[in-house]
Amino acid sequence: MQNIAIIGAGMSGLSAAHALMGRARVTVFDKSRGVSGRMSTRYAGDYEFDHGAQYFTVKSSEFMSVVNRAMAQGHIAPWAARAKYLKSGLMQEDTGGARFVATPRMNSWAKALADPLSVKLGARVKTLQRAKDNRWTLIFEDGRAIKGFDGVVCSVPPRQALDLLPKEFSKRAALKRAQMDVCFAVMLGLSEPIETGWDTLRVNDLPVNWLAFNSSKPGRAKAPTLMIQSAPEWSNTHAETDRDWVQRVMTEVASELVGADLSKAPHHALHRWLYAAVSQGLNQTHLFDSDLNIAACGDWCVGGRVEGAFLSGLSAGHCFNLKT
Ligand SMILES: Cc1cc2nc3c(=O)[nH]c(=O)nc-3n(C[C@H](O)[C@H](O)[C@H](O)COP(=O)(O)OP(=O)(O)OC[C@H]3O[C@@H](n4cnc5c(N)ncnc54)[C@H](O)[C@@H]3O)c2cc1C
């Protein structure tokens, strides 16, 4: 059996690992302390925040069957959110397809997917080196090296993939084409629920573009929480601006929108996602260099979002010729 390394334990890396499972020996490496990547959850005392992906939709029948299976196992549930859209001063229903969330937290589905896999956490891959037998050695930031991989799936955002993949990787131009926006996430733990008439609010033309009462999702902790996300253009402009200022501006705008002074919330935190959402995708399922036996995948291949990440990983997992 061939030995395949997967770099990144987000949705695309885990989906690639499942596509390869049973056909190859698979090891997944992630720099973080937990799996799930941008589908992650932050904890602060009784408060919990899905501070990356908020929910996901399902368009393809392929993803629907995976979601149905995960729902039957209790890892996913529909989120019947009261969703509103404030456009040009008018409050409207925020229509769209059914919304799904992992339960009881956004990272729960990724944890379930990782369960049968060999996953090494706290393992930041710095680079890859090819040995004389053409196999790949993974070199980690802390100086460790693990050798003997016949193939590699790199499922990290494109800018990070450019840094760690070898110069000979023939798809570097495509990696450079893919672009991602920054996003700030403000996490507020509230002393009591605020009744606004909505669970999620989408807005335009402001520094923030999304608010959601995280505690309104199915299976969540009861302590009331509000997530605030910044708008892409504003976030890109202020990527390096003082974090206190960013948090203050976002909290002030959100206070106006909910009609309460959120600066008094007992818990405040800010997270910056440097590669949050895809602004320019590739319109192709994955990248594969068959000479090097290296694939690259992620939401940035097929238009972003959880479904895109899953489908990209799936096709990357199936691109290897595993006959030996
Ligand atoms: C704030 C925010 C809100 C979002 N809202 C939604 C939404 O409402 N609906 C939706 O569908 N999608 C949403 N998304 C997008 C969704 O989260 C992503 O599309 C999806 O999770 C991407 O999965 P991925 O596997 O491609 O990448 P990631 O989840 O980013 O996984 C990449 C993994 O690689 C690891 N990694 C990176 N570099 C290295 C390295 N050198 N060595 C080892 N490991 C490494 C990272 O730790 C990470 O775990 C949102 C994202 C953000 C940030």
Q: Which atom from ligand 1 is nearest to the alpha carbon of 35?
A: 49
* Distance (Å) from CA 275 to ligand 1 centroid: 8
pLDDT tier at 19 (50, 70, 90 boundaries)? Answer: very high
Residue 303 has pLDDT above 90, yes or no: no
What is the spatial distance between Cα 304 and Cα 312, in angstroms, rounded to a whole number?
10
* Distance (Å) from CA 265 to ligand 1 centroid: 28
Amino acid at 242: D
pLDDT in tens, 63-76: 999 999 999 999 99
**Ligand 1: which residue has its CA nearest to atom 50?**
53
Average pLDDT score over residue span 22-46: 97
pLDDT in tens, 193-212: 999 999 999 999 999 999 99
User: Which residues, in sequence order, are bridge partners of residue 229?
Assistant: 185, 210
Residue 304 has pLDDT above 90, yes or no: no
The helix-helix angle for 61-72 and 305-317 (nearest 10°) equals 100
Q: Which atom from ligand 1 is nearest to the alpha carbon of 14?
A: 25
* Distance (Å) from CA 116 to ligand 1 centroid: 21
Average pLDDT score over residue span 230-249: 98
Who lines ligand 1 at CB under 6 A?
Answer: 7-13, 29-32, 37-39, 52-56, 124-125, 155-157, 160, 164, 183, 185, 229, 273, 276-277, 298-299, 304-306, 309
Q: Which residues contact 183 (CB under 8 A, 6 or more apart)?
A: 229, 230, 232, 235, 272, 273, 276, 277
Average pLDDT score over residue span 139-162: 97
pLDDT tier at 222 (50, 70, 90 boundaries)? Answer: confident
Average pLDDT score over residue span 165-183: 97
Which comes out higher in pLDDT, residue 88 or 7? 7
Average pLDDT score over residue span 227-240: 98
Residue whose tokens read 């595993």? 322
Q: Which atom from ligand 1 is nearest to the alpha carbon of 183?
A: 1
pLDDT in tens, 263-289: 999 999 999 999 999 999 999 999 999
pLDDT in tens, 76-115: 999 999 999 999 889 999 988 899 999 999 999 999 999 9
User: Which residues, in sequence order, are bridge partners of residue 110?
Assistant: none
* Distance (Å) from CA 30 to ligand 1 centroid: 12
Average pLDDT score over residue span 115-132: 98
pLDDT tier at 259 (50, 70, 90 boundaries)? Answer: very high
**Ligand 1: which residue has its CA nearest to atom 21?**
38
List, as own/partner pairs, every contact residues 308-311 make where C-beta atoms lie below 8 angstroms and the sequence separation is at least 24, other chains included: 308/278, 308/281, 309/10, 309/11, 309/12, 309/15, 310/11, 310/12, 310/15, 310/63, 310/66, 311/15, 311/60, 311/62, 311/63, 311/285
- Percentage of the chain beyond pLDDT 90 is 96
pLDDT at 96: 82
Give pTM, 2 decimals: 0.97
* Distance (Å) from CA 40 to ligand 1 centroid: 8
pLDDT at 324: 59
pLDDT at 221: 83
**Mean pLDDT score across all residues of the chain:** 96
Domains of the chain: 1-33+121-177+284-324 (3.50.50.60), 41-113+179-280 (3.90.660.10)
Helix-strand-coil split of the chain, %, nearest 5: 25, 30, 45
